[in-house]
Amino acid sequence: MASAARGLMGLILQSRSEEGCRLAAWRLLRRSPKVADAVMEGVREAWRIDEVFCRNAVARELELATEPHEEYGWRREEREAAQAKERAWREGVEGRFEKRVSEGQLPPKIALAAPTDAVVFRTQHVERALNVLQDEMLDEEWVWDITEVLLRQAFQQSETGRQGGRSGLDYAWSRFLGDWLARLTTLLTRPDLETKVLAELQEHWPATAGLMSDFMYGFTARHLAQEEIPETVRGKWESITASVIPAEPLDPGASRFPSQAGRFLSQDEQAALGLTIHVRDGRAVLTEAWTAAPIFAEIYQAWVSVAGHTAWGLRTLVTFAGAAGSTLSPDQIIRWLHTAVHGIADREGLWDEGGLGQAAAELMWKLWERSHSSIRRDSEVLGNLAALVDELTRAGVPLAARIRREMT
């Protein structure tokens, strides 16, 4: 059935479809989710050919996203009555949109009703609708109206469904919504980004930290992972990271769980803070092939000053320095590492956990090989590197002893 949907949408794309073919394609939207996905894939390419079909398809998905739901008791007749109302509502929606398509009418408006306790919010319909929009359509007023509805719903669900320090949002939905926000940032000025998105996320912090991290990941993939960073993108990233980096330093210590004022940061907060230096879940999201790190050096400096002196922060810093941070000055990296390490008073067992000692030694070897001449000319940097290498040597990291021999 999905292949039939693609075939019918192909005819529409070739402008050869007769009315019966269009309606056949439209009715396939009512089939399985897989078939509906196939039809909507065709919609993405058909906007300039059949705007009536495409706009109605988007409007239909958004109307189906908030399906009225009526609670019922244990009695069979109550359940059947409620289910009959739900079916009648769906049939009414389908009938209205099919009539519009058959008569060549655009939907009067495209909107999303605010989710309430009286509806079932079906995110898959929202995803289908928004995924097919062309970039040139994103500045239409209704797009932001719908986004505001989605954000309000997300903020509420993040707080009410929060468990164990994690957002109450479904993971897949949070990833989609974060990426959607990242896509929309191309249309927002920096002040609008700060007031319409960042301030709202901060108002509900830390429940919204998971959505923030997904937004940051989407922004990184869409706007930072390129050879040249436009000034507008640079400014927006500065605003995003400023809203995430804490005003006060994290509690110092060797615990693998970062904390502030005695409260452990949630996994979502760690993810957002780590993405400030392009690291997520202990892995670099931007590699050493990325060359734009120097323009964000002030952000990294601010990050090191509040998070580098923790065991978590040191691990994250080492990962960043070996990947996206590899184009920064080796002297600067060494200073940051030295400051971070010596900010952790209790370092017993620090280098053994998760291979941190070996990873740090490999980073220092890379820095030494790349810039040993300039490092030697700066006695402070040379002393910092020597102190780091000596500590790793005492911790039993074999590579550290080799670096020390090279330095003498």
Residue 399 tokens read as 């590579």
How far apart (Å, rounded) are the C-alpha atoms in residues 171 and 197? 19
Helix extents (H) in 194-266: 199-203, 209-219, 231-244
Q: Please, are residues 321 and 304 in contact by the beta-carbon 8 Å criterion?
A: no
User: What Cα–Cα distance (Å) separates residue 175 from each residue in 96, 167, 233, 275?
Assistant: 32, 12, 21, 14
pTM to 2 decimals? 0.91
User: What Cα–Cα distance (Å) separates residue 281 from each residue in 55, 315, 316, 342?
Assistant: 39, 11, 9, 24
Q: Which helix (H) or strand (E) holds 2?
A: helix 2-13
How far apart (Å, rounded) are the C-alpha atoms in residues 345 and 337? 14
259-297 burial code (b ≥16 CB/10 A, e <16): ebeeeebbbbbbbbbbbbbbbbeeebbbeeebebbeebe
pLDDT score at 350: 87
pLDDT score at 200: 94
Q: Which helix (H) or strand (E) holds 58?
A: helix 51-64
83-110 burial code (b ≥16 CB/10 A, e <16): eeeeeebeeeebeebbebbeeeeebeeb
Q: Please, are residues 211 and 275 in contact by the beta-carbon 8 Å criterion?
A: no
Which residues lie closer than 8 Å to 91 by C-beta, 6 or more apart?
none
Helix extents (H) in 65-170: 76-103, 123-131, 141-160
Neighbouring C-alpha atoms within 13 Å toward the C-beta of 74 = 0
Q: Please, are residues 342 and 391 in contact by the beta-carbon 8 Å criterion?
A: no
Per-residue pLDDT of the chain (408 residues; tens, 9 = 90+): 556 555 655 555 555 455 667 788 888 888 888 888 888 988 888 888 889 999 999 999 999 999 887 776 677 777 777 778 888 989 999 999 999 999 999 998 899 988 877 788 999 999 999 999 999 899 999 999 999 999 999 988 887 755 555 667 889 999 999 999 999 999 999 999 999 999 999 999 999 999 999 999 999 999 999 989 999 999 999 999 999 999 999 987 656 678 777 778 888 999 999 999 999 999 999 999 999 999 999 999 999 999 999 999 999 999 999 999 999 999 999 999 999 999 888 888 889 888 999 999 999 999 999 999 999 999 999 999 999 999 999 999 999 999 999 888
